[in-house]
Amino acid sequence: MELVTNSKKVESKRNQRKPLPKIKFSTFLKYLFVITLSLLMVIPFIWMLSSSFKAESEIFGIPIQWIPETFYWSNYVEVWTRVPFHLYYLNTLKITVITVILNVLTSSMAGYAFAKVRFPERDKLFFLYIATMMIPYQVMMIPQFMLMSELGLVNNHLSLILLGAFNPFGVFLFRQFFLSIPDELLEAARIDGLNEFGIYLKIILPLSKPAIASLVIFSFMHTWNDFLGPLIYLTSDHLYTIQLGIQHFITEYNTEYALLMGAAVSAIIPTIIVFFLAQDHFVKGIASSGIKG
């Protein structure tokens, strides 16, 4: 009988609900601050999306009507038909994809050399290369243009691709990530007969998915949204990127905001897709790239 009563007491204790953990006031304030900041960052995008479906006269109405009474789908049709927007899209996609691929290749190779290959003055050379990140783009703009002009690459997509294919930040990101890979793994590969390029190709790259995803996101967003570079090097309309093509909706006397917002919404879709596809590896890459200095 005593055993039965004890077991009933144990079961009753288990069935009792555990009290909910108390949330500290400081934690509540942190969450409130983060949520408020997130809403402030999202609101402009919501307004842009809402405005892209409105008539021109409804966009700046007060108070703001977040959900239009009538959805003007014709805004998007006009964006893609009035100007060769599909051509701008393809140009931007071509430049961005090639630039991202070259950026990943050059940055990963240089990062591997600076992290795992021993050669004289390696660390000093790495410091000098990373120091170029502190030089403002406005300082390099004219010399770069003169160089591209001498090479005959002005008004050519190749100029933008070459200038974007080398990135000191990418080298830094990969070097920091490669430092977290044990040297014993590479020594075992060398004993098995692999040369440095074989180690890079068969061991390093398969382990570098987080760093690759991080650089892909940064490089894709920078190249896709670049306005100043195409403005400097491209003069022909059929070579324009999206950022230059959007300017067709801004004239000297009028700005068609509904079409402008529709073009902007169309332009940000690829960046959102790339981020969501690579976000898991992106978080891992950012976390692991700072393990060793």
Structural domain range at position 168: 78-288
Flag whether 68 is in a domain.
Answer: no
For the ranges 20-29, 197-206, 248-257, which has the lowest average pLDDT?
20-29
Helix (H) or strand (E) holding 24: none
- CA pseudo-torsion sign 64, 66, 72, 78: positive
Question: What is the arithmetic mean of pLDDT over 137-149?
Answer: 90
150 — pLDDT class (breaks 50, 70, 90): very high
Any domain includes 272: yes
pLDDT at 4: 47
Assign residue 102 the CATH number of its domain.
1.10.3720.10
Quickly state the pLDDT bin for 199 (edges 50, 70, 90): confident
> Are the beta carbons of 167 and 221 closer than 8 angstroms?
no
Examine residue 72 and state whether it is found in any structural domain, yes or no: no
* Average pLDDT for 241-263: 86
pLDDT at 57: 82
Q: What tens digit of pLDDT does each residue of 21-34 get? A: 566 767 878 888 88
- Residue 9: predicted pLDDT: 52
**pLDDT at residue 284 is higher than 80:** no
20 or 142, which is more confident: 142
Compute the average pLDDT of residues 260-272.
89
Identify whether 277 is part of a domain.
Answer: yes
pLDDT tier, 11 (very low <50, low <70, confident <90, very high otherwise):
low
pLDDT score of 8: 52
- What integer pLDDT is reported at residue 12 of this predicted model? 55
Overall number of domains in the chain: 1
The pLDDT assigned to 30 comes to 83
More confident residue, 285 or 146: 146
Hey, which of 7-11, 19-23, 289-293 has the most confident mean pLDDT? 19-23
The answer as to whether 17 is a domain residue is: no
278 versus 44: the higher-pLDDT residue is 44
Residue 122 confidence class, pLDDT cut points 50, 70, 90: confident
pLDDT above 50 for 276: yes
Element (H, E) at 247: none
| pTM for the full predicted model | 0.80
User: For residue 283, how many C-alpha atoms fall within 13 Å in the half-sphere facing its CB?
Assistant: 4
pLDDT band at 96 (very low <50, low <70, confident <90, very high): very high
Structure tokens at 52: 């892209």
Cβ neighbour number for residue 231 with a 10 Å cutoff: 14
> Does residue 192 fall inside a structural domain?
yes
Asked whether residue 217 is assigned to any structural domain, the reply reads: yes
Any domain includes 8? no
What is the total residue count of the chain? 293
Question: Are 135 and 195 a contacting pair, CB within 8 Å?
Answer: no
CB within 8 Å of 225: residues ≥ 6 apart? 243, 271
